[in-house]
Structure 1
Amino acid sequence: MKDQIGTKENPSQLKTPPLSSEYTMHTDVKDGKEVLVCTVGKTVLLYDYRCLADLHEMLKKHGDWIELGSADEQKPAKEGTVEAWGRSENNPVGGWYGLKKGLRGRFGTYIPPLMEKLGMAQVTHDAKGNKMKAI
């Protein structure tokens, strides 16, 4: 799976769920931990690599569509969304999958399209209110 995500030299080219913005994603190791490196323009966000398997497992248990609910770290996430789960004390890591303080949010924007590319999930591509479910 990692080889499908890309490297720093050859990252995956992705689009946000509404297909309005482009960004790249690749894997790396930071402080001994496998990470997903998400580059949006000049902004670099880091997510714990295990979020892919953990989110896939949660989606399979949920069994139906779930709203993405993307939000910046400084804003509260809508309850019952992928974004809220990605920062919940009840998820497998007990908190944020985002690793860069101040830029830990937007989990619901950047992780679902990667999971769609990897064949792990379906994602809707509407202007607003996008959802995902496990494949």
Structure 2
Amino acid sequence: MSTPGTKEHPWKLKTPPQSSEFEMYKEEKDGKTILVCTVGKTVLHYDYRCIDDLYAKLKEHGDWVELGSADEQKQAKEGTVEAWGRSPENPIGGWYGLKKGFRGRFGMYIPPLMEELGLAEVEHNPRNNRMRAI
């Protein structure tokens, strides 16, 4: 049996409100390990480092953090997972999203993967969800 998280056997996930399904898998691209996130026909790429980096940030914070998902063109609410995922103060100094025009929504798609991997607890309310490290 193949390991989940490959192109052939992607993780099948749901957004935090449980309203939409999407798939994710790990891949090498241009010598870099990335996450490929497919939502309908839209394909987003995130730096794979984001999993360990966000986990460390959540552990350090020690409490719930609002997700605050936003498109790349919109301002992310301060103090949210989304804002951290594009902040010059995060470990990579900016966006974990790799495809220009599709770099946002970090707070929508990375938390469910971290929950699937057993690294975080994520709320599943219709709006204003939060997460914390396990």
Where on the TM-score scale, by shorter chain, does this alignment land: which range?
over 0.9
Contact 2:34–2:47, Cα closer than 8 Å, also in 1:
yes
Contact 2:3–2:9, Cα closer than 8 Å, also in 1:
no
Q: 1:39 to 1:125 in 2, by over 3 A?
A: same
Counterpart of 1:109 in structure 2 is: 108
Q: Does 1:73 align with 2:72?
A: yes
Q: Structure 2: which 5+ residue stretches go unaligned?
A: none
Counterpart of 1:12 in structure 2 is: 11
CA deviation digits over 1:46-77, x for unaligned, max 9? Answer: 00000000000000000000000000000000
Counterpart of 2:117 in structure 1 is: 118
Q: Structure 1: which 5+ residue stretches go unaligned?
A: none
Scaled by the length of structure 1, what TM-score is found? Answer: 0.97
SS of the counterpart of 1:133? strand
Q: CA deviation at 1:124?
A: 0.2
Contact 1:15–1:113, Cα closer than 8 Å, also in 2:
yes
Q: CA deviation at 1:5?
A: 4.7
CA deviation digits over 1:16-50, x for unaligned, max 9? Answer: 00000000000001111000000000110000000
Counterpart of 1:49 in structure 2 is: 48
Root mean square deviation of aligned Cα? 1.0
Residues matched between the structures, number = 133
Q: CA deviation at 1:6?
A: 1.3
SS of the counterpart of 2:60? helix
Contact 1:5–1:27, Cα closer than 8 Å, also in 2:
no
Scaled by the length of structure 2, what TM-score is found? Answer: 0.97
